[in-house]
Structure 1
């Protein structure tokens, strides 16, 4: 079956299955607190790693929950996954956590699927099935971390009069723009490739602007997997936001 699936269909299928597994782990009632997050991470990671190696044996693979041996750097095509993005939210039975499955080709985020298993009915947003974006509201909304909102995001929101919307995982924040729950995701507090690769692929497919906060492109499958900042927003707002970032005084 997997050999007949397109890369995008495979990403969406695996993200959805991993999401259902995570819900089953949580519903078992065996785990709680940190042990629930650990069990969920390990279960979803094991499934995704084995499934991708079976379905796409010639591709590279990078996962948050798997030690990287460097062989991915020898590949043009590399799958980048985050088995549970927003472990805290997953453990708290919130809706704002996600499963990321994406494919970078030549460092570019070309295929992505983001599952939101905690959303009503479960959702998988994918790069090959873009939705019509909702109209922008009169007052822009900026998603920020529930626990550690970035200084730049808070200051720029104040400058442009945007409403702050606290939310959990990076994937949930990025998908909130597509779902009409927010308009800007500006992050500068430190991330890794698996935090943003699949969400960025999905966002780009929906016509959104995606870049570093200095306006440079987001590149993946790099030797250093740290990718500390990003901006996802409507294209018509990107120039204004990037200008506001450049005008911020040093921390």
Structure 2
């Protein structure tokens, strides 16, 4: 069944996941790890069923599902994280996100990134980054700040701002609240696929710290680093980030 355009499907998935995950907070009946576990399980179950109905021939890769590697034989693979920033979500913070991406032959073809607590979903087919004066900020991981990032920020004249999920950090650059999102020390493909798809579609720069494109649907889902920044700062930031390379 292919009654939905891929962009629409990604958007409806991200919107539905966000609604489901937020709903698990109802009444304050669950907290902490119990809340996070139920939110992930319920949202993932719904997502798997939707994809089985609408894209039964596509591959999938999700944080909450065992990887049987059958995706490696597929050209089209949906890469999903129903709650990116579980710690933020389960402790009541708003800087968590929902990631839905379609990767075709290793390329992040399209995606949607939701900020459910802000009631917003950003889709790659209708998105643009905010231009104008620089914010002077660099966003980094709140829970796993990369080594050496303070020196990089200082060399660029930027102020470091810790935030939660990868999607929230990328969107802060897209919205003009930050100029650079930089991470080193490792993530997984589901952390990066949707944010990279939306960032590239919006006109932002998105790559590895050495400037090479980020590829997806690899046998090993580990991805060592990521850079998303304003396009007019790309060369400057890549030069500064070179000091973080092993």
Report the TM-score, using the length of structure 1 for normalisation: 0.94
Match of 2:126 among 120, 126, 129: 129
Q: 2:46 — aligned with what?
A: 47
Q: Offset at 1:140?
A: 2.3
C-alpha contact (below 8 Å) 1:93/1:118 kept by paired residues: no
Distance in 2 between residues matched to 1:248 and 1:56, nearest whole Å: 40
**Gapped runs of 5+ residues in structure 1?**
none
Which structure 1 residue ranges, 4+ long, deviate > 4 Å from structure 2?
none
1:104 aligns with 2:103: yes
Tell me the SS of whatever aligns to 2:117. coil
Paired residues for 1:110-125 under 5 Å? 110-119=109-118, 122-125=119-122
Question: Is 1:193 matched with 2:192?
Answer: no
Deviation at 1:28, TM superposition (A): 3.9
Comparing 185-194 and 2-11, the one that deviates more: 2-11
Question: C-alpha separation between the residues in 1 aligned to 2:136 and 2:49?
Answer: 42
TM-score normalised to structure 2 length: 0.96
Deviates more, 1:93-102 or 1:23-32: 23-32
Structure 1 position 50, deviation (Å): 1.3
Which residue matches 1:63? Answer: 62
How many residue pairs get aligned? The number is 246
Structure 2 residue matching 1:109: 3-state secondary structure: strand
Cα displacement string for residues 186-237 of structure 1 (whole angstroms, at most 9, x for unaligned residues): 1002100000100100000001111111111100000000012010001111
Equivalent pair of 2:199/2:228 in contact (CA under 8 Å): yes
Residue-by-residue CA offset, 1:23-46 (whole Å, 9 max, x unaligned): 110124221111111111111111
Alpha-carbon RMSD across the aligned residues, in angstroms, is: 1.4
Superposed CA deviations along residues 48-94 of structure 1, whole A, max 9, x for unmatched, are 11111211011000000000111000000000000100001111221
Aligned pairs for 1:146-225 within 5 A:
146-225=142-221
Q: Secondary structure at the match of 1:4?
A: coil
Structure-1 separation of matches of 2:157 and 2:76? 41
CA distance in 1, matches of 2:102, 2:244: 34
Residue pair 1:114, 1:171 contacting (<8 A) in 2 also: yes
Task: Note if contact 1:80-1:193 (Cα within 8 Å) is conserved in structure 2.
Answer: yes
Q: Deviation per CA, 1:86-125, whole angstroms, max 9, x where unpaired? A: 0011112211001101000000001100010011xx0000
Equivalent position SS for 2:126 = coil
| Cα offset, 1:133, TM superposition | 1.6
The alpha-carbon deviation at position 132 of structure 1 amounts to 4.8
Which structure dedicates a bigger proportion of its chain to strand? 2
Alignment CA distance shift 1:159-1:16 (3 Å): same
* Structure 2 gaps, min length 5: none
